[in-house]
Amino acid sequence: MAARPVHPVTAAATGSATGRGAPALAEELGRTAPDGSEVGFYLHVPFCERRCHYCSFNTAPLPDGAGVRRYLAAAHRELALLGGVPWARAVTVATVFLGGGTPSLLEPEDVGALVDGLRTRFTLAGDAEITIECNPESASRTKLQGYRAAGVSRISLGVQSLDDRLLARLGRLHDARRAHAAFDAARQAGFDNVSVDLMYGLPGLDLPTWRHTLETVLAWMPDHLSAYGLTLDPGSAWASSGVPGLPAEDAVVEQYWALARAAAAHGLEHYEISNYARPRFRSRHNQIYWRAQEYLACGPGACGFVGDLRYGNVRATARYCARLEEGVLPVDDGERLDARQRLAEQLILGLRTADGVPAAWLRRRAEGDGALSRRLRAWREQALLVEHGDHVRLTEAGFLLSDALFVELL
Ligand code: SF4
Query: Is there a single domain that holds both residue 115 and residue 206?
Result: yes
Residue 9 resides in a domain: no
Average pLDDT over residues 139-166: 98
Query: Is there a single domain that holds both residue 74 and residue 20?
Result: yes
Average pLDDT over residues 140-144: 98
Residues with CB under 6 A from ligand 1: 1, 48, 51-52, 55, 57, 59, 100-102, 135
Measure the CA angle with vertex 347, ends 303 and 223; round to 5°: 70
Tally Cβ neighbours within 10 Å of residue 245: 9
Mean pLDDT of the chain: 94
Query: Is there a single domain that holds both residue 327 and residue 395?
Result: no
- DSSP class of residue 91 equals S
Tell me the pTM. Answer: 0.95
Pocket test for ligand 1, best of 4, 102, 172, 230 (most atoms within 8 A of CB): 102
Query: Is there a single domain that holds both residue 253 and residue 178?
Result: yes
Query: Is there a single domain that holds both residue 332 and residue 377?
Result: no
Q: Whose CA is nearest to atom 2 of ligand 1?
A: 52
DSSP codes, 288-313: HHHTT--EEEESTT-EEEETTEEEEE
Residue 1 resides in a domain: no
Q: Are 338 and 309 in contact (CB under 8 A)?
A: no
| Confidence band for 76, pLDDT divided at 50, 70 and 90 | very high
Query: Is there a single domain that holds both residue 35 and residue 162?
Result: yes
- State the distance from the centre of ligand 1 to the C-alpha of 93, rounded, in angstroms: 27
Query: Is there a single domain that holds both residue 73 and residue 32?
Result: yes
Query: Is there a single domain that holds both residue 63 and residue 134?
Result: yes
| The domain boundary residue, chosen from 313, 336, 359 | 336
Query: Is there a single domain that holds both residue 242 and residue 330?
Result: yes
Average pLDDT over residues 149-170: 98
Pocket test for ligand 1, best of 59, 169, 233 (most atoms within 8 A of CB): 59
Residue 398 resides in a domain: yes
pLDDT per residue over 189-246, tens digit each? 999 999 999 999 999 999 999 999 999 999 999 999 999 999 999 999 999 999 999 9
Number of domains forming the structure of the chain: 2
- State the distance from the centre of ligand 1 to the C-alpha of 8, rounded, in angstroms: 15
Q: Whose CA is nearest to atom 4 of ligand 1?
A: 1
Query: Which residue segment(s) compose the domain that 214 sits in?
Result: 16-336
pLDDT at 16 over 60: no
The pLDDT, as a whole number, for residue 7 is 44
Query: Would you put residue 292 in left (φ > 0), alpha (ψ -120 to 50) or beta?
Result: left
Query: Is there a single domain that holds both residue 148 and residue 280?
Result: yes
| The domain boundary residue, chosen from 308, 336, 364 | 336
Query: Is there a single domain that holds both residue 23 and residue 156?
Result: yes
* CATH code of residue 389: 1.10.10
Whether a cis peptide bond, with omega within 30° of 0, leads into 101 is yes
Residue 5 resides in a domain: no
| The domain boundary residue, chosen from 336, 366, 386 | 336
* CATH code of residue 205: 3.80.30.20
Q: Whose CA is nearest to atom 3 of ligand 1?
A: 55
Residue 397 resides in a domain: yes
Residue 7 resides in a domain: no
Query: Is there a single domain that holds both residue 241 and residue 370?
Result: no
